[in-house]
Amino acid sequence: MERTKVASRARSGRRRNRAMTWALALTVATLSGCAGATDATTSTQGAASVAASEAAATPVALHLNTGSYSLSAPTATVRGTVTRGASVRVNGHAAYVHAGRWSRTLALRLGRNRVAVLATMGGRTPARKSIEITRERSAAELEAQAVKKQAEQRQASEAAERKASEEAAKQKAAIETPVCTNGTYVNSAGNTVCRPEESPTVPAGATAECQDGTYSFSESRSGTCSHHGGVARWLN
């Protein structure tokens, strides 16, 4: 009987050992599976992050069909290509974009015109390009400018001639204006004239020499030298 009990206890111990071994093996397998899943998830997330970084570091593809140039037109259309889905702005204004092609018409001023192009797209680095368009005068504008310059020169010449003529007239008037040494009087026309005066030479502005040797400055022949014996001779 004692031997039977001992054998039974031994069998029970072996069963417990096998159960514990299987439980330990199951635990290790479970832990290994979780670790593998975690590593796979981490690897997937890392790959996605690298892909996103690479996409963000890729600039938008932007191309201008023409570099810097000159023309004589008042407007110019700038064109090019860009990554599909990108937006383009030219000097801060939205350009027309269709199927990867863009364009924008600009008004130009005379001289140099800087054209700055910016292309943007979500998740990508913006791209920038710039050129200069030099606006020159057209043949019609050059002709109009020449005509205007000739007209200005003609006006300036005419103004100079008028001024010279006025100055000459003033100088002549100053020379011919008599110096009234014997006083003045107001004639019938309301003008102030010099009274007849004696002079060894013909004074400036005298119109007649009287019989008594005085000179008259009368503006009309009627009554000239009436108090000086009459007219000896007319001077003009």
Q: What is the CATH number of the domain that holds 69?
A: 2.60.40.10
Which stretch of 49-53, 174-178, 229-233 has the lowest confidence by average pLDDT?
A: 49-53
pLDDT at 45: 58
pLDDT at 12: 61
72 and 131 in a common domain: yes
8 A C-beta contact, residue 215 and residue 203: yes
Confidence of residue 14 (pLDDT cuts 50, 70, 90): low
What is the residue range of 223's domain?
184-234
- In terms of Cβ atoms closer than 10 Å to its own Cβ (0-12, 13-18, 19+), residue 70 is exposed
Distance CA 41, CA 62 (A): 37
Distance CA 55, CA 34 (A): 32
How many helices (DSSP H) and strands (DSSP E) are in the chain? 2, 15
Distance CA 39, CA 144 (A): 80
Which stretch of 5-14, 108-117, 153-162 has the lowest confidence by average pLDDT?
A: 5-14
Q: Which 8-state DSSP code applies to residue 125?
A: B
48 and 15 in a common domain: yes
132 and 80 in a common domain: yes
Q: What is the mean pLDDT of the chain?
A: 83
pLDDT digits (tens, 9 = 90+) for 67-96: 999 999 999 999 999 999 999 999 999 999
Confidence of residue 172 (pLDDT cuts 50, 70, 90): confident
48 and 5 in a common domain: yes
Q: Which two tokens mark 52?
A: 């996103």
Distance CA 105, CA 98 (A): 15
pLDDT digits (tens, 9 = 90+) for 17-69: 666 665 665 554 555 554 444 454 455 555 555 444 554 579 999 999 999 99
Distance CA 219, CA 204 (A): 14
Q: How many domains does the chain have?
A: 4
pLDDT digits (tens, 9 = 90+) for 189-202: 889 899 999 999 99
Q: Indicate the pairing of strand 69-71 with strand 127-135.
A: parallel
66 and 132 in a common domain: yes
pLDDT at 24: 61
pTM greater than 0.75: no
8 A C-beta contact, residue 106 and residue 89: no
Q: How many CB atoms lie within 10 A of CB 174?
A: 9
